[in-house]
A and B are shown apart, each in its own frame.
Chain A
Amino acid sequence: MTILSYDSTFEGFLTTVFEIFEFKYQEPQIIKKDDLQRNIFATPVEIVTDITKSDRVIKKLTDQLQNDGVRTLIYAFLSEKVGVEDLLFKVINYAVANKNKNIMKDFSNDAVLQVSQLTKSVGREKHRMEAFIRFELLKDGIYFAKIDPDFDVLTLIMNHFKNRYQDQKWLIYDLRRKYGVFYDLKSVEIVSLDLDVKLIDDKSSSVFSDSEIQYQKLWWEYFDHTNIKERKNTKLHLQHVPKRYWKYLTEKKIF
């Protein structure tokens, strides 16, 4: 067995894939550098991310699996699931063994099916973020939202919000992964910062614009009054809005 470590980026992962074929590593196991200390007996091969190599893999995969297939692989990768690299490698290997076939359509293959299920989960989380993100207007005119998604989807939702909000500054911040995306009326940038979230969690906080709490209360009232009490269906409600998302929903706040 050969343990290969990479820098947690998708390009790094693809470089690793390239080198597995290049140097014919046997029984490869791919691990993020940050996860290495957990595996103290390993003497890993350290892979240095090389964009030329990763681009060649992307091109090859796109030819065979189409854009859709490659998108599926990227989404599954962003699930950050332990062992996802090895799973993806299995799928890539299966593709290499079946040249000229779009094996992403073979749902009878276990690895393909697992990857497509991971992709579905990540896609669902992306969609949920597009739906459940709630912006709060700060005094300095920035619409601010904090998120804590199960998967690393912030880069996937960037464009959605960029298309939508072009005349307001906004910042979406991932609390768990400690980075955000910021739009300054011109372009969107990924920003790493360690925010003092307590400052923004405080309801009476002076960071909000004067009207912010008023609009939140109006939305809260609207949510309450658009409900039909005679049709109450808690099971269905929870299925659509699982409790773990409530912490960011204005309509679930207690004023």
Chain B
Amino acid sequence: MNYEKVKEKLEILADAAKYDVSCSSSGGNRKNKNKGLGDSSATGICHTYTEDGRCVSLLKILLTNFCIYDCAYCVTRKSNDIQRAAFTVEEVIDLTINFYRRNYIEGLFLSSGIFKNADYTMERLVRVAKKLRLEHNFNGYIHLKSIPGASDDLMREAGLYADRLSMNLEIPTESGLKLLAPDKNHQDMIKPMGFVKNELIQYKEEKKKFKSTPKFAPAGQSTQVIVGAAQENDFQIIQVADHFYKNFDLKRVYYSGYVPISNDARLPAIGAQVPLVRENRLYQADWLMRFYGFKANEILDKNNPFLDLEVDPKMSWALRNITQFPVIIQNASLEMILRVPGIGVKSAHKIVQSRRFTNLNLDHLKKIGVAVNRARYFISVSNENSHLKFLNALNLKEIILSDTKSKFENPFSNQLSLLNDDSFLR
């Protein structure tokens, strides 16, 4: 291998792939057989973290950044004057295997610019995965991008060799997509996702009858939406996420704060701040839907289309639904304990287990891991809880804010600057 040449390509094609935030390696269940290479850990492993704090689990690269599309938000768009490069299939395989052997990565995340047409591109991606599995007995994690408009046959083959397939919606509404990605067709994106969903259902059925049914994308499908590029509000984004979780059985929806990469007048200008707080709040809302039993319409509605940037969405819900509190820790249902601000899923389960032995007090909760400084306004426990008296105070939110510290340093000035620059609220 010509290391210098590969290094140059790697620089370009890693740079181009980094805006895809998904780096999950969980959900795979491939076992190492016949003394091969690799074994998927069901929980996934982050092997390192970039300086921006994101997990690096997979070798995430584009096969090529040549692209026939001209999507305004994308750094790889046709009209952008950047260096272009393309890996050969063998180069990708060599990098994947040698990185994997040194325990740098859990596997490969391969995406691509679209060259010639959808199927031509998809076929190349599938070829890499197929060779890794069949010729190199590689059982690490493989995440392939589904190319919009790819044929069913290729998608089926992709599912045989990949652990996860993903199709990035990027712009969640049809109107936004039309404005920013005029060559892309919403239906072309939905169709392969629908196909994969149906194949997954069929796989489950067949697996019941025949144990030998070959695996099909065991880690399921995911998607990504860009936040702050088009005009969408949080209500629309949450609705789209909910729709895809329910109707396409997605494993994950990723939210990617738009990093300005273009002087296009349709988008926030270069140098504008990345909407990190908004992105964080969307993830919190997503978690509420997936792990805390919240429905999308409980988190936001048409009249309140944006998530509160000052407090997290669970706190926000609690403040709007004060009549549901206080929650009596000793006998409330798990569902209700999960709705208390400051109590996470693990703590909630520990509470339910421990209260069989003792009457729990605030000290117990603190030791268990509850964020008592938030939870104490909403719960009743075995000892006296002096903060409960604020529950019906009109300025409860201010009291809580003055008592807790946001992880975003100097939250107040940060919020102000965000609010002043309306590009983040569009």
| Residue ranges of A at the interface with B (Cβ–Cβ < 8 Å) | 103, 105-109, 113, 127, 130-137, 143, 145, 160, 163-168, 185, 211, 214-215, 217-219, 221-223, 225-237, 239-241, 249-251
Roughly how many angstroms separate A214 CA and B3 CA in the complex, as a whole number?
7
| B274: interface (CB < 8 Å) | yes
Structural contact, B39 and A164, CB atoms closer than 8 A = yes
Structural contact, A106 and B18, CB atoms closer than 8 A = no
A212 to chain B, nearest CB (A): 9
> A residues within 8 A CB of B47?
131-132
The one of B53, B101, B259, B367 that contacts A113, using a Cβ cutoff of 8 Å: B367
A-B contact pairs, 9 of them (CB 8 A): A105-B353, A106-B358, A127-B45, A143-B102, A164-B39, A167-B35, A218-B95, A219-B102, A223-B56
Roughly how many angstroms separate A32 CA and B38 CA in the complex, as a whole number?
39
Structural contact, A250 and B360, CB atoms closer than 8 A = no
Q: Given contacts A108-B360, A163-B39, is CB(A221)–CB(B7) below 8 Å?
A: yes
Roughly how many angstroms separate A144 CA and B19 CA in the complex, as a whole number?
33
- Count of A-B contacts judged by CB separation below 8 Å: 155
> B residues within 8 A CB of A105?
353-354, 356-357
B332 to chain A, nearest CB (A): 17
The one of B18, B99, B101 that contacts A143, using a Cβ cutoff of 8 Å: B101
A220 to chain B, nearest CB (A): 10
The one of B48, B98, B353, B356 that contacts A241, using a Cβ cutoff of 8 Å: B48
Binds A, one of B9-17, B63-71, B123-131, B298-306: B9-17
Structural contact, A228 and B52, CB atoms closer than 8 A = yes
| B60: interface (CB < 8 Å) | yes
Structural contact, A163 and B32, CB atoms closer than 8 A = yes
| Residue ranges of B at the interface with A (Cβ–Cβ < 8 Å) | 3, 6-7, 10-11, 14-15, 17-19, 31-32, 35-39, 41, 45-56, 59-60, 95, 98-99, 101-104, 137, 257, 259-260, 274, 276, 350, 353-354, 356-358, 360, 364, 367-368
> A residues within 8 A CB of B357?
103, 105-106, 108-109
Structural contact, B102 and A232, CB atoms closer than 8 A = no
A179 to chain B, nearest CB (A): 20
Roughly how many angstroms separate A226 CA and B41 CA in the complex, as a whole number?
23
The one of B18, B37, B137 that contacts A225, using a Cβ cutoff of 8 Å: B18
> B residues within 8 A CB of A160?
41
Roughly how many angstroms separate A251 CA and B14 CA in the complex, as a whole number?
15
Top 8 closest A-B pairs, CB basis? A236-B53, A231-B52, A108-B358, A227-B50, A240-B49, A225-B14, A233-B53, A106-B357
Roughly how many angstroms separate A226 CA and B357 CA in the complex, as a whole number?
49
Q: Which of B51, B54, B56 has the most CB of A within 10 A?
A: B51
> B residues within 8 A CB of A137?
101-102
Structural contact, A227 and B51, CB atoms closer than 8 A = yes
Roughly how many angstroms separate A127 CA and B57 CA in the complex, as a whole number?
13
Structural contact, B3 and A135, CB atoms closer than 8 A = no
> A residues within 8 A CB of B32?
163-164, 166
Q: Given contacts A225-B10, A226-B17, is CB(A231)–CB(B274) below 8 Å?
A: yes
Structural contact, B367 and A218, CB atoms closer than 8 A = no
CB-based nearest A residue for B46: A131
Roughly how many angstroms separate A108 CA and B11 CA in the complex, as a whole number?
52
CB-based nearest B residue for A230: B259
Roughly how many angstroms separate A143 CA and B100 CA in the complex, as a whole number?
12
Roughly how many angstroms separate A7 CA and B367 CA in the complex, as a whole number?
33
Structural contact, B101 and A221, CB atoms closer than 8 A = no
Q: Given contacts A109-B357, A226-B14, is CB(A134)–CB(B104) below 8 Å?
A: yes
Structural contact, B55 and A237, CB atoms closer than 8 A = no
Structural contact, A145 and B10, CB atoms closer than 8 A = no
Q: Given contacts A107-B353, A107-B367, A234-B51, is CB(A165)–CB(B101) below 8 Å?
A: yes
Structural contact, A232 and B38, CB atoms closer than 8 A = no
CB-based nearest A residue for B272: A230
Q: Given contacts A105-B354, A225-B15, A226-B14, is CB(A136)–CB(B276) below 8 Å?
A: no
Roughly how many angstroms separate A229 CA and B104 CA in the complex, as a whole number?
21
Q: Given contacts A130-B45, A230-B259, A240-B49, is CB(A221)–CB(B368) below 8 Å?
A: no
Structural contact, B102 and A134, CB atoms closer than 8 A = yes
> B residues within 8 A CB of A232?
51-52
> B residues within 8 A CB of A103?
357
The one of B7, B35, B103 that contacts A135, using a Cβ cutoff of 8 Å: B103
A36 to chain B, nearest CB (A): 33
The one of B36, B276, B368 that contacts A167, using a Cβ cutoff of 8 Å: B36
Roughly how many angstroms separate A250 CA and B102 CA in the complex, as a whole number?
10
> A residues within 8 A CB of B18?
225-228
> B residues within 8 A CB of A241?
48-49
CB-based nearest B residue for A114: B367
B101 to chain A, nearest CB (A): 6
Roughly how many angstroms separate A217 CA and B1 CA in the complex, as a whole number?
14
A237 to chain B, nearest CB (A): 5
The one of B37, B39, B50, B137 that contacts A223, using a Cβ cutoff of 8 Å: B50
Structural contact, B276 and A231, CB atoms closer than 8 A = yes
> B residues within 8 A CB of A185?
35
B124 to chain A, nearest CB (A): 20
Roughly how many angstroms separate A132 CA and B45 CA in the complex, as a whole number?
10
A140 to chain B, nearest CB (A): 15
CB-based nearest A residue for B8: A221
> B residues within 8 A CB of A237?
49-53
> B residues within 8 A CB of A236?
49, 52-53
> B residues within 8 A CB of A229?
52
Roughly how many angstroms separate A185 CA and B48 CA in the complex, as a whole number?
27
A249 to chain B, nearest CB (A): 6
Roughly how many angstroms separate A231 CA and B99 CA in the complex, as a whole number?
26
Roughly how many angstroms separate A129 CA and B308 CA in the complex, as a whole number?
39
> A residues within 8 A CB of B102?
134-137, 143, 215, 219, 250
Roughly how many angstroms separate A163 CA and B3 CA in the complex, as a whole number?
30
Structural contact, A135 and B101, CB atoms closer than 8 A = yes
> A residues within 8 A CB of B45?
127, 130-131
Structural contact, A166 and B37, CB atoms closer than 8 A = yes
Structural contact, B99 and A219, CB atoms closer than 8 A = yes
Query: 7 extra interchain contacts, Cβ-Cβ under 8 A, other than A217-B7, A225-B14?
Result: A108-B354, A164-B37, A164-B39, A227-B51, A231-B53, A240-B49, A251-B48
Roughly how many angstroms separate A215 CA and B374 CA in the complex, as a whole number?
48
